[in-house]
């Protein structure tokens, strides 16, 4: 028995020693951080304007989600990120059920984190004037359907209406990040963009899944299904973007489905099932609602901020 006990004790001692050395190695050496080439540049000067352009979309999402879930916005949650910019127009708390409220609250704080990451990494500018009023959303949906909805569409009315309003916004950020990706060179800015893209894609997937589950439900009081609402918004964004099909609703013909075999379209993707991409020009045409990157309006009545957006406004 003594020999067995001694052997067991020695075995335990060796295991503890090995474990200690393993822990020591993991935390003593740079094994938990990515390796970069010796002369790699963290942030290229050319990266900054492209990454700052994204702040316009992150501001749009942050205040829409914060107000929708909490009844107050960035001015109260993280006022230093506003940088003196004007408060949004018409934002209000939405009438959400518990599930939807928790989803949107999480999205809201994620957008705050995105803005914090962007502004601490590449700098930033004051929040632009943003129109989040029910009146503006009503105009968007009227244009999407080609006639005035009665009563006017109000994203703050209930959970489904709010998620349809949300369908209008995050996907634009997603395709913008995909479009920006090939033009970013610094390893810090690449990591930032990849992290932003991952979460934006996740948000869009949640919104689309939520609406897909309700695809056949009729949106009260319009006698139109949730699926038709998404299709109409996607068609409008394609029209405004002026670069063909880069946006699809949650139900599509087979020719647009995955491998031309599905009519379900929980995720919007191209012929190769890769995410669509858009340029800053296309993004501005869509969020301005004018189809012209030189003419502000829509969500940004005075135009977006940053060098890229302002140059379009200065050079019609």
Per-residue pLDDT of 60-69, as tens digits, reads 999 999 999 9
270: which residues sit within 8 A by CB, 6+ positions away? 246, 276
Query: What residue spans of 71-186 are helical by DSSP H?
Result: 74-77, 98-122, 134-145, 159-167, 170-180
Tally Cβ neighbours within 10 Å of residue 213: 12
Q: Which residues in 181-194 are b (16+ Cβ under 10 Å) and which e?
A: eeebebbbbbbbbe
Calpha distance 218→214 (Å, rounded): 9
Tally Cβ neighbours within 10 Å of residue 245: 15
pLDDT, tens digit (0-9, with 9 covering 90-100), for 278-294: 999 999 999 999 999 99
With CA atoms as reference, report the closest residue to 308 among 128, 165, 168. 128
pLDDT, tens digit (0-9, with 9 covering 90-100), for 75-134: 999 999 999 999 999 999 999 999 999 999 999 999 999 999 999 999 999 999 999 999
pLDDT at 46 over 80: yes
Q: What pTM did the predictor assign?
A: 0.89
Which tokens belong to 146?
Answer: 């080609």
Question: Please, what is the angle between helix 187-213 and helix 45-70, to 10°?
Answer: 30
Calpha distance 21→252 (Å, rounded): 56
The model's confidence at residue 199, banded by pLDDT at 50, 70 and 90, is very high
Question: Please, what is the angle between helix 98-122 and helix 187-213, to 10°?
Answer: 170
Calpha distance 215→198 (Å, rounded): 25
Query: What residue spans of the chain are helical by DSSP H?
Result: 2-28, 45-70, 74-77, 98-122, 134-145, 159-167, 170-180, 187-213, 226-241, 280-288, 307-314
Instruction: Give the per-residue pLDDT at 6.
Output: 53
pLDDT, tens digit (0-9, with 9 covering 90-100), for 205-232: 999 999 999 999 999 999 999 999 999 9
Instruction: Give the per-residue pLDDT at 170.
Output: 86
Arithmetic mean of pLDDT, 2-23? 52
Which tokens belong to 172?
Answer: 């634009």
pLDDT at 49 over 50: yes
Calpha distance 203→27 (Å, rounded): 34
The percent of residues in the chain predicted with pLDDT above 90, rounded, is: 86
Query: φ and ψ at 112, to 5 degrees?
Result: -60, -45
The CA–CA distances, whole Å, from 267 to 92, 229, 230, 236 equal 29, 16, 12, 18
pLDDT at 309 over 90: yes
Which tokens belong to 285?
Answer: 């045409």
pLDDT at 14 over 60: no
Arithmetic mean of pLDDT, 250-269? 96
Instruction: Give the per-residue pLDDT at 40.
Output: 85
Calpha distance 159→148 (Å, rounded): 22
The CA–CA distances, whole Å, from 184 to 1, 194, 239, 256, 315 equal 67, 10, 28, 30, 25
Query: φ and ψ at 272, to 5 degrees?
Result: -95, 10
Q: What's the maximum distance between 2 C-alpha atoms anywhere in the chain?
A: 91
């Amino acid at each position: 028995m003594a020999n067995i006990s001694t052997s067991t004790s020695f075995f335990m001692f060796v295991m503890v020693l090995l474990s200690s050395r393993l822990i020591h190695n993991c935390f003593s050496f740079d094994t938990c951080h990515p390796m970069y080439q010796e002369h790699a540049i963290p942030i290229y000067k050319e990266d900054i304007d492209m990454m700052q352009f994204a702040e316009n979309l992150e501001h749009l999402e942050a205040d829409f989600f914060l107000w929708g879930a909490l009844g107050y916005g960035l001015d109260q949650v993280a006022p230093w990120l506003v940088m003196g910019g004007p408060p949004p127009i018409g934002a209000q708390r939405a009438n959400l059920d518990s599930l939807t409220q928790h989803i949107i609250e999480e999205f809201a704080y994620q957008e705050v984190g995105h803005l914090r990451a962007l502004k601490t990494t590449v700098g930033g500018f004051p929040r632009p004037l943003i129109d989040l009023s029910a009146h503006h959303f009503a105009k968007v949906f009227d244009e999407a359907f080609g006639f005035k909805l009665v009563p006017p569409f109000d994203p703050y009315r209930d959970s489904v209406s709010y998620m349809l309003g949300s369908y209008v916004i995050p996907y634009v950020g997603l395709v913008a990040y995909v479009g920006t990706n090939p033009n970013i060179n610094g390893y810090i800015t690449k990591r930032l963009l990849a992290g932003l893209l991952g979460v934006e894609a996740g948000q869009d997937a949640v919104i689309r899944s939520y609406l897909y589950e309700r695809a056949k439900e009729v949106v009260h009081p319009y006698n139109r299904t949730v699926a038709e609402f998404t299709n109409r918004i996607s068609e409008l964004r394609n029209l405004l973007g002026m670069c063909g099909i880069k946006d699809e609703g949650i139900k599509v013909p087979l020719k647009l489905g995955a491998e031309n075999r599905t009519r379900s379209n929980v995720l919007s993707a191209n012929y190769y099932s890769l995410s669509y991409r858009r340029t800053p020009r296309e993004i501005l045409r869509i969020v301005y609602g004018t189809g012209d990157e030189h003419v502000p309006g829509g969500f940004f009545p005075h135009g977006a901020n940053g060098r890229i957006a302002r140059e379009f406004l200065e050079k019609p």
